[in-house]
Structure 1
Amino acid sequence: MAEKLAPEKRHSFVHRGQKVFEWDQTLEEVNIYISLPQGVPTKLFFCNVQPKHLEVGIKGNPPYLNHDVASPVKVDSSFWTLEDGTMHITLQKRDKGQTWPSPILGQGELDPYSVDEEQKRLMLQRFQEENPGFDFSQAQFTGTCPDPRTFMGGIRSG
Structure 2
Amino acid sequence: MPDYVETNFDERSGFVPCATPWGRWWQTVAEVHVEVTIPEGTRSKFIQVTVKPSHMKVVVLDKVIIEGSLFAVVRTDETIWTIEDKKILHIAMTKADACTKETVWGGLLKDEYLADPWTLHEMRKKLDLERFQIENPGFDFSGAQLKKGYDSPKGSEIEEWEKKQKEKLEAAADQ
Return the TM-score normalized by structure 1: 0.76
89-98 or 34-43: which moved more? 34-43
| Structure 1 spans left out of the alignment, 5+ residues | 14-18, 146-158
Say if 1:38 and 1:114 are closer, same or farther in 2 by CA, change over 3 A: closer
Measured in 1, the distance between the counterparts of 2:88 and 2:68 equals 20
Number of corresponding residues? 138
Aligned to 2:163: none
Say if 1:66 and 1:143 are closer, same or farther in 2 by CA, change over 3 A: closer
Percentage identity across aligned positions? 30
Match of 1:63, SS? strand
Measured in 1, the distance between the counterparts of 2:18 and 2:65 equals 19
Give the residue type in structure 2 aligned to 1:78: T
Measured in 2, the distance between the counterparts of 1:135 and 1:62 equals 43
Give the residue type in structure 2 aligned to 1:139: L
Give the residue type in structure 1 aligned to 2:82: T
| Structure 2 spans left out of the alignment, 5+ residues | 1-6, 153-175
Measured in 2, the distance between the counterparts of 1:42 and 1:113 equals 35
Give the residue type in structure 2 aligned to 1:44: F
Q: CA deviation at 1:123?
A: 1.2
Q: CA deviation at 1:108?
A: 2.5
67-76 or 133-142: which moved more? 133-142
Match of 1:34 among 30, 33, 36: 36
Measured in 2, the distance between the counterparts of 1:39 and 1:139 equals 43
Aligned to 2:56: 54
Task: Report whether the alignment pairs 1:119 with 2:124.
Answer: yes
Aligned to 1:21: 23
Measured in 1, the distance between the counterparts of 2:133 and 2:119 equals 21
Aligned to 1:73: 74
Q: CA deviation at 1:4?
A: 4.3
Contact 1:25 1:31 in 2 (8 A): yes
Match of 1:10 among 17, 28, 34: 17
Measured in 2, the distance between the counterparts of 1:134 and 1:40 equals 41
Contact 1:120 1:141 in 2 (8 A): no
Per-residue displacement from partner, 1:8-66 (whole Å, max 9, x unpaired)?
Answer: x42201xxxxx22211111000100001124644312110110001011136x352222
Give the residue type in structure 2 aligned to 1:142: G
Measured in 2, the distance between the counterparts of 1:140 and 1:5 equals 18
